[in-house]
């Protein structure tokens, strides 16, 4: 983050408590940005959080949700929250990584291999450390997590079983170094593209494919422009709910606690929601004509290429190889 932005953020935090201490400013309608459309896990987490927060504050506060990137790109919302011009945002974790690189631990390919592992890491000491780092680096506080499942690969050209099958397929990825490097390890150069442009690019055949969780594929109606799904499991998609630290610090102690408690409860709801709905959404996508297949040989070639070529490149940015070793040991793979 640029020095100017950091200075502005500090000034906002310093003055916020004084601004919001007046009785007239106590009742507030907050804004929450969401990158995804209504109906996905971002919407589910946000809706539950709003419901819980309103109940815990006796209806004194409300939050209006703005889905589908109405308030800007996901990375833009991190900037806006950092300087205090946006209250809340729910976004893919890969869009926080540029601001706080250690969070990239959770986006390294094939680190998280199940919902249980995702919950354990985000809710344990590792998650707390990365939350603290994000607060320090970006001026935003992670208060909740949406669990969206594995990012499966979709495309409009052909069934894909092996990394070699990717040749000739143009795949859209977020503007995230780790995800770009992962596809490069599989032998292609993916096309970095803003999320807001993705559906149109798929529709117009500017790109052939993309990867996202089943729930996102369904919510964004990608079945209208994509035919094939490959069940790769290289990234378990985590979508944190963040609050501007200046906004958080400007609240009374009771409201701060309501925010934290609502975030924790909404996080638990998100895990339950994924477990209960993913299978039915996968079935519905199949009924809509999408052909679903598994990678060849239990994904062995995909895993070997990605872990050997990508992991070492990002040891430094995540805080050292020992950080990853610690995570793998916690998961029983160290």
pLDDT (tens digit per residue) in 180-200: 999 999 999 999 999 999 999
Report percent pLDDT > 90 for the chain: 91
Return d(Cα 134, Cα 112) in angstroms, integer.
Answer: 20
Pairing of strands 171-173, 62-66: unpaired
Domains within the chain, CATH numbers bracketed: 3-19+27-102+114-148+238-277 (3.40.190.170), 152-235+282-315 (3.40.190.170)
Calculate mean pLDDT across residues 45-73. Answer: 97
Closest CA to 247 of 139, 161, 136: 139
Q: What's the pLDDT tens digit per position in 85-106? A: 999 999 999 999 999 999 999 9
Output the pLDDT for position 24.
Answer: 34
pLDDT band at 334 (very low <50, low <70, confident <90, very high): confident
Q: In this predicted structure, which of 6-10, 157-161, 324-328 has the lowest mean pLDDT? A: 6-10
Q: What's the pLDDT tens digit per position in 212-247? A: 999 999 999 999 999 999 999 999 999 999 999 999
Q: Is 293 helix (H, G, I), strand (E, B) or coil?
A: strand
Global pTM reads 0.90
How would you class 280 by CB atoms within 10 Å of its CB: exposed for 0-12, middle for 13-18, buried for 19 or more?
Answer: exposed
Q: What is the DSSP string of 60-103?
A: S-EEEEE-TTTT--HHHHHHHHHTTS--EEE--GGGTTTTSGGG
């Amino acid at each position: 983050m640029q020095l100017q932005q950091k200075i502005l953020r500090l000034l906002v935090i310093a003055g916020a408590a004084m601004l919001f201490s007046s009785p007239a400013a106590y009742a507030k309608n907050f804004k929450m940005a969401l990158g995804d459309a209504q109906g996905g896990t971002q919407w589910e987490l946000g809706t539950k959080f709003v419901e819980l927060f309103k109940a815990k504050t006796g209806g004194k506060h409300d939050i209006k949700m703005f889905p589908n990137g109405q308030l800007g790109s996901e990375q833009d919302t991190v900037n806006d929250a950092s300087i205090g011009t946006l209250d809340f945002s729910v976004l893919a974790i890969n869009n926080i990584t540029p601001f706080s690189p250690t969070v990239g631990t959770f986006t390294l390919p094939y680190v998280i291999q199940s919902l249980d592992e995702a919950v354990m890491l985000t809710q344990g000491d590792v998650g707390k450390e990365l939350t603290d780092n994000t607060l320090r680096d970006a001026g935003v506080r992670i208060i909740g997590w949406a669990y969206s499942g594995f990012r499966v690969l979709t495309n409009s050209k052909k069934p894909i079983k092996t990394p070699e099958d990717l040749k000739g397929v143009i795949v859209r990825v977020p503007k995230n170094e780790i995800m770009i490097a992962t596809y490069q390890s599989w032998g292609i150069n993916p096309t970095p593209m803003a999320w807001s442009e993705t559906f149109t690019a798929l529709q117009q055949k500017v790109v052939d494919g993309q990867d996202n969780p089943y729930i996102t594929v369904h919510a964004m109606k990608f079945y209208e422009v994509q035919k094939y799904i490959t069940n790769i499991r290289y990234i378990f998609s985590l979508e944190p709910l963040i609050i501007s630290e200046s906004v958080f610090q400007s609240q009374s102690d009771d409201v701060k606690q309501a925010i934290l408690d609502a975030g924790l409860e909404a996080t638990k709801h998100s895990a339950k929601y994924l477990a209960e709905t993913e299978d039915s959404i996968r079935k519905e996508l199949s009924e809509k004509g999408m052909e679903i297949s598994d990678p060849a040989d239990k994904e062995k070639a995909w895993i070997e290429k990605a872990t050997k070529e990508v992991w070492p490149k990002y040891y430094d940015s995540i805080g050292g190889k020992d950080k990853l070793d610690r995570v793998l040991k916690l998961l029983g793979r160290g």
